[in-house]
Amino acid sequence: MEIIERKIKGAFEIQLKPNFDDRGFFMRTFDVNIFNKNNINKNWVQENQSRSEAKGIIRGLHFQLPPYSETKLVRCIKGTIFDAFVDLRRDSPTFGKWDSIELSEENKKMVFIPSGFAHGFCTLTDVSELVYKVDNFYSPDYETGLLWNDPEIGIEWPVKDPVLSGKDKNNLSLKEFIGKYKYLERQ
C-alpha cells in the first residue's frame, strides 16, 4: 500500500498492491498500522456501496454539515469513475479548489477525502460500483451539496450532459454555499 498526498493538503491517493497468481489476486485494502503511520486513520462507522448502471451519471457534489461532516475512503470495485472533491474547509489556502482522480477496478486505487470537502463522481463505464467508508453517520437533515457544473469551481468533468438526480440538479452554487454557511469547520 502506497499513500500519496494529493495537490489539496489532507487528501490522499492510496495505491493498493494486489498479489496475483493463476487463481486471481489478494490485496489488503485497509491496515490500521499503515493508516495510523500516515495520520489518516479514522473511526470508520459506516461502509456504503453505490452502483450506477449507465455511463455518464454524476452523483454529487455531496457533503454533510457539522456535526455530521464525513471523512470518506472511496474505492471503485467495478468499472471506472472520475472522482472529484472540493475543499470547503475554514481557513484553507485551497478553499473552493478541486482535485480529481480516476478510480477503477483495474487501477485499484482509493482516495481518502477528509471532512470539510464536497465529493462527487462521474461514471465512465456502463456499470460502476463504489465502496466507501465514512467516519460519521448519515444524517439527511444535515446533507447538502454543491452544483456539479458551477463555473466558479470549474471542475473539468468528462461529460457535458450527465444523468443527474433531481436533488443534484438543485444543489448550491459555491457563492450560495458561502452566503449560507461560509465554510465547513475542520473536524
Catalytic (active-site) positions = 62, 132
User: What is the rounded distance in angstroms from the CA atom of residue 103 to the CA atom of residue 15?
Assistant: 10
Report the amino acid identity of residue 102. E
Cell numbers that stand for 88 in this block = 470547503
Nearest of 52, 62, 170, 49 to residue 113 by alpha carbon = 62
User: What is the rounded distance in angstroms from the CA atom of residue 56 to the CA atom of residue 2?
Assistant: 30
CB neighbourhood size of 102 (10 A): 16
- Grid cell 480516476 — which residue? 102
SS3 category, 97: coil
Burial category of 6 from C-beta neighbours within 10 Å (exposed 0-12, middle 13-18, buried 19 and up): middle
Cell numbers that stand for 99 in this block = 482535485
SS3 category, 179: helix
